[in-house]
A and B are shown apart, each in its own frame.
Chain A
Amino acid sequence: MSLSQPSGEERRVQFLGGASVDGAPVAYLIVLAAVVTVLAFIPFSAVLGMGGSFPMSQGVYSLVGWILGPLAGAVSSGIGTLIGVFVAPHTTRVWYVSVMSALITSFAAGAMAAGGKRRGWWLLPFVLGVLGFVVYVGRGLQNGVALSTALMTTFVNWSALILYLLPTRSLFARWIASTSLLKLAAGLFLGTWMTYGLAHVCAGAITYLMFNWPAEVWMTLIPIIPVEFATRGAIGAVIGTGVIAGLRAIGLVKPTHAAY
């Protein structure tokens, strides 16, 4: 039996549960915060200069922003990371820097596709990224790091700033909203690279001011950091493609500011 046009009046459907943050159900925030916390247990790379290791959760901060939107995404990944700081200290170096990275990355991701009154929100993480870059590289130059070395080490960061400034920002957002899985995966990979790159340089600026690692470490980082970023992108793409395809297929309510 098929129904071409129901006889009843079509109603305006909206989520009235009240338990939501910026249009995203609180249940979603909790689930994704839990995912971030769980992934905080898994180290995926050693940290040169300070010791410790990076948590795998860094690969999904952006995804959380695309699923929940800039504000709810930042709240969710921020809470998940904060809990992760306590329960998985082995992947934490400076706790507030970890939380800050999560907040900036998710916000930057959620702001990529923002329209209307939020059209200019992307400027906030971009400006923070530029400031972080200036402080990080400037301090490095002061400490005697060669300009070429500084630029090669921060390739992931300045490439992220350029990609975020140019129309590639909205292009990646369109890919993430695309029904083509290939485009979705590419958007997730490049989007993760780009948005984490902004947070990374802000975090790098603070930690470098604290630890002042020597110029030799900058050299060593040149081949390592892009590999780490590619890994983060791959984590975002692999997890994100499945999650977003699943969310679309299951048809659960979509947060108001979601990018998928």
Chain B
Amino acid sequence: MDIHTPLAHFEKVSYQYPHRTDFALQEINLTVRKGELLGVIGATGAGKTTFCLTLNGIVPQFYGGRFFGHLRVAGLDTVDTPIHQLARHVGMVLEDPETQLIATSVENEIAFALENLNVPAEEIRARIPRVLEMVRLENLPKRHPSELSGGQKQRLAIAAALAVQPDLLVLDEPVSQLDPQGAQDVFAVLRELNHTMGMTIVISGHAAEELAESAHRLILLAKGAIVAEGTPEEIYGNVPLLEEYGVRPPQVAKTFWLVRHLLPPGASLPVRLSEGLNRLKDLPRPVHLPAIPASGATRPSAEALITVRDLHHIYPNGTHALCGVSFDIHAGEYVLIAGQNGAGKSTLVRHFVNLLQPTRGEVHFAGQDTRTLSTADAARRIGYVGQNPDLQLFNRTVEDEIAFALRHLHYPADEVRRRTDEALDALRLNDVRQRHPFSLPKGERARVVIAAVLALQPEVLIFDEPTTGQDLAGATAILDITRDLHRMGKTILVITHHLYLMPGYAERALLMNKGHLLLDAPLREAYHNLAALERTALTQPQAVKLAQALEARWQVPLPLLTPQEVAQCWLAEATE
């Protein structure tokens, strides 16, 4: 594979969106070489999406604004070449596959771009099975895209981009909405395309573990500028640099960074799990192991706040989304609900706020059947932050968005102002309070919705994938708020695939699989139950895998969850 010929060349590229005074990209000088798999990382708002959109000319041709410098892709200037010509050379896959799927069947979806490019029908028919095989969807050509899982939809979007046979495939946060198995599937396909076909790929995102496994090179963006560039070892191995710019390192790198004094001088940090597992043997067995933290949830003895009994839900299209789920949630609990895409998690919590009604079974909130809850009651008592923040935004400014429900629930003006200010502070939205919500990046739009719900001060808060598309600082800020609310006595329910984020927050985990409740256990127990996690397409965080490797090596139980806890095995002894 020739990874030396330049395919894309940025020369002094800077870009400013219309009506903005700051620059989304600043002085970018970079060459993307043929056959390279380049990762673009950075905090939310660092310019990753803008960087991706410059490669097919959407920035600046569609957005307008001011563009400085030159960017050539496959020999074409992206400012002077029409987008439809660039589209022959640059395939684009966006964060949310739903926004790019428009056809009524998988094969029609692939054909759509080709038809627009006037590719002969016979050639289209030949390409469809070829690209479907590449993304492992060859058995579903007639399936309606809406019936695919999240991972399948994303792979279909990739297939549609591949069918054009682009020189460069650009993926903007392609796995942020996928469960770990779906994310691994997508990255496996990308690695295969890169290795076997020499496809040049640019991927932006926060998927540190996957990018460490797959990328040849990484660039770290901050405020639109490249602040570091190098191999995954160089970038992910520099933990202080990443933390300075709000980027999460792979857990394996973080763990070894914490015990770096035990590594040979000058040794680089492992950034991939396999390397980390190998390097464990370099670490001495401590004489004394630290006390294992308490195993988590102690169920409050109070009466259940939410009672779910034999809950079934069948959608009008016949999908049996919930199949006899039963459990109780007590006041003051912090519960993680996890499971693969399509496990029924969102369907479940929508019953709590009467957005859905049981097909069979019952859901009670504080003794009241949720079917009888009015919208106003539900809004006051149960805050629901949905998966797609855009569906909950409709005001002209961030401030209005947060104050909207308060005003409509007739709170006094002073109270509206006070609660709005508090919510803006808590979610770090003060600087954008007068901005239009849709002018913000997706991560910040999600924070606006959370702020709006938070302002209502409900008893129960349900967060459906609140950390999707968030950088480390954004995700931590949101989860810290949930922890503060929990400490104030609120009941918190969080749905997420990002298991590595939840230790230190959730106490109890409900694992769901295809509409069934697979496991209801304290968090520590759930994370170490590999069989249950695998059944629902979840993968253990790297720190848990390292802990299990140590457990097998040392023959002691080590139900550890985080890099800090794993490192504590050695650090505790050092501080004694």
Residues of A within 8 A of B27 (CB): 3, 6-8
Is B396's CB under 8 angstroms from A1's CB?
A: no
CB of B14 to closest CB in A, whole Å: 4
- Measured between beta carbons, the chain B residues less than 8 angstroms from A252 are 62-64
Give the B interface residue count (CB, 8 A): 39
B402 shortest CB reach to chain A, Å: 16
Complex contact A6–B68 (CB within 8 A) = yes
Determine whether the beta carbon of B69 is less than 8 Å from that of A8.
Answer: yes
Residues of A near any B CB (own CB < 8 A): 1-3, 6-19, 25, 181, 242, 245-246, 248-254
Per-residue interface assignment for chain B, residues 62 to 80, with 1 indicating a CB less than 8 Å from any chain A CB and 0 otherwise: 1111111110000000011
Contact (Cβ within 8 A) B223 A1: yes
Q: Which of B289-339 contact A (CB under 8 A)?
A: none
Tell me which of B266-274, B366-374, B434-442 binds A: B434-442
CB distance from B68 to the nearest CB of A (A): 4
The reply to whether B438 and A17 contact each other, CB–CB distance below 8 Å, is no
Judge whether B68 and A10 touch: CB under 8 Å: yes
CB distance from A183 to the nearest CB of B (A): 15
Contact, CB under 8 Å: A10 / B66: yes
Whether B68 contacts A250 by the Cβ 8 Å rule is: no
Cβ–Cβ < 8 Å partners of B62 in chain A: 15, 17, 25, 252-253
* Bound Cα distance from A248 to B20, whole angstroms: 11
Asked, given contacts A14-B61, A17-B84, A252-B63, whether A245 binds B70 with beta carbons under 8 Å apart, the answer is no
Is B19 positioned at the interface, with any CB of A under 8 Å from its CB? Answer: yes
Interface residue from B14, B79, B222 paired with A13 (Cβ < 8 Å): B79
Chain B residues near A245 (CB-CB < 8 A): 396, 436
A-B contact pairs, 6 of them (CB 8 A): A1-B224, A16-B82, A16-B83, A17-B82, A249-B436, A252-B63
Q: Are B19 and A249 in contact (CB under 8 A)?
A: yes
Tell me if B438 and A249 are in contact (CB < 8 A).
yes
Q: Name which residue of chain B comes closest to A14, CB basis.
A: B61
Q: Answer yes or no: B60 CB below 8 A from chain A CBs.
A: yes
Whether A8 and B19, one on each chain, are in contact in the complex, defined by CB atoms closer than 8 angstroms, is no
Determine if B13 and A8 form an interchain contact, defined as CB atoms under 8 angstroms apart.
yes
A250 and B438 contact, Cβ closer than 8 Å, known pairs A13-B65, A15-B61? yes
A1 touches B435 (CB 8 A): no
Closest to A13 in B: B60
C-beta contact mask, B431-451 vs A, less than 8 Å → 1, else 0?
A: 000011011000000000000
Q: A16-B83, A248-B19 are known contacts. Are A8 and B70 too (CB-CB below 8 A)? A: yes
Q: How far is the CA of A6 from the CA of B17 in the complex (A)?
A: 14
User: Known pairs A9-B70, A245-B396. 7 more at Cβ < 8 A?
Assistant: A6-B14, A7-B27, A13-B79, A16-B57, A16-B61, A16-B80, A249-B438
Residues of B within 8 A of A10 (CB): 66-68
Given known contacts A6-B23, A6-B68, A6-B69, A253 and B225 CB-to-CB distance under 8 angstroms: no
Whether a CB of chain A sits under 8 angstroms from the CB of B81 is yes
- Structural contact, A251 and B19, CB atoms closer than 8 A: yes
Q: Considering the complex, which residues of chain B in the window 4-62 have a beta carbon less than 8 Å from any beta carbon of chain A?
A: 11-14, 17-20, 22-23, 26-27, 57, 60-62
Q: A246-B438, A253-B64, A254-B64 are in contact. Are A17 and B83 (CB under 8 A)?
A: yes
A246 interface neighbour in B63, B67, B225, B396, Cβ under 8 Å: B396
Residues of A within 8 A of B12 (CB): 6-9
Inter-chain contacts of B80 with A (CB < 8 A) = 16
Say yes or no: A251-B20 contact (C-beta < 8 A), given A3-B27, A6-B69, A13-B79.
yes
**Which 4 A-B pairs give the minimum distances between C-beta atoms?**
A8-B69, A249-B436, A8-B12, A6-B14
Complex contacts, B66 vs chain A, CB 8 Å: 10, 13
How long is the Cα–Cα vector from A147 to B435 in the complex, in angstroms? 53
CB pair A11–B63 under 8 Å, yes or no, is no
Minimum CB–CB distance for A135 against chain B, Å: 43
Interface residues of B in 472-509 (CB under 8 A from A): none
Tell me the smallest distance from the CB of A224 to a CB of chain B, in Å: 32
- Residues of chain A within 8 A (CB-CB) of B436 are 245-246, 248-250
- Within the complex, the shortest CB–CB distance from A201 to chain B, in Å, comes to 35
Least Cβ–Cβ distance between B439 and chain A, in angstroms: 4
Chain B 214-253 near chain A by CB (<8 Å), digits 1 or 0: 0000000011110000000000000000000000000000
Residue among B13, B62, B83, B439 facing the most chain A CB atoms (10 A cut-off) = B62
B68 partner, pick from A8, A242, A249, beta carbons under 8 A: A8
Choice from A7, A12, A242, A251 contacting B63 with Cβ under 8 Å: A251
Q: Which residue of A lies closest to B23 (CB)?
A: A3
CB distance from B61 to the nearest CB of A (A): 5
| B65 adjacent to A8 (CB under 8 Å) | no
Residues of A within 8 A of B65 (CB): 13, 251
Q: Give Cα distance in the complex from A9 to B435, angstroms.
A: 30
Query: Would you give the shortest CB distance from B81 to chain A, in whole angstroms?
Result: 7
Nearest Cβ distance between residue A5 and chain B, in whole angstroms? 9
Q: Note all chain A residues with C-beta closer than 8 A to B61.
A: 13-17, 253
Assembly CA distance A245 to B68 (angstroms): 27
Docked-complex contact A16 and B13, CB < 8 angstroms: no
Q: Out of A9, A13, A16, which one reaches B64, CB within 8 Å?
A: A13
Q: What is the distance, in angstroms, from A184's C-beta to the closest C-beta of chain B?
A: 11
Bound Cα distance from A252 to B439, whole angstroms: 10
A258 CB → nearest B CB, Å: 12
Point out the residues of chain B lying under 8 angstroms from A14, CB to CB: 61
Bound form: Cα–Cα A10–B79 in Å: 11
Shortest distance from the beta carbon of A148 to any chain B beta carbon, whole Å: 45
Q: Is the CB of A250 within 8 A of B439?
A: yes
Cα separation A250 to B390 with both chains bound (whole Å)? 13
Give Cα A250–Cα B396 distance, bound, in whole angstroms. Answer: 11
Q: Which residues of chain B come closer than 8 Å to A248, judged between CB atoms? A: 19, 436
Asked whether B11 lies within 8 Å of A251 as measured between CB atoms, the reply is no
Q: How far is the CB of A180 from chain B (nearest CB, A)?
A: 13
Chain B contacts of A251 at CB under 8 A?
Answer: 17-20, 63-65, 439
Residues of A within 8 A of B11 (CB): 8
A36 CB to nearest chain B CB (Å): 20
Chain B residue at smallest Cβ distance from A17: B83
- A1 to B12 CA separation, bound complex (whole angstroms): 16
User: In the complex, which of the residues B13, B68, B70, B222 contacts A1, with contact meaning CB atoms closer than 8 Å?
Assistant: B222
Among A11, A12, A242, A252, max chain B CB count under 10 A is at A11
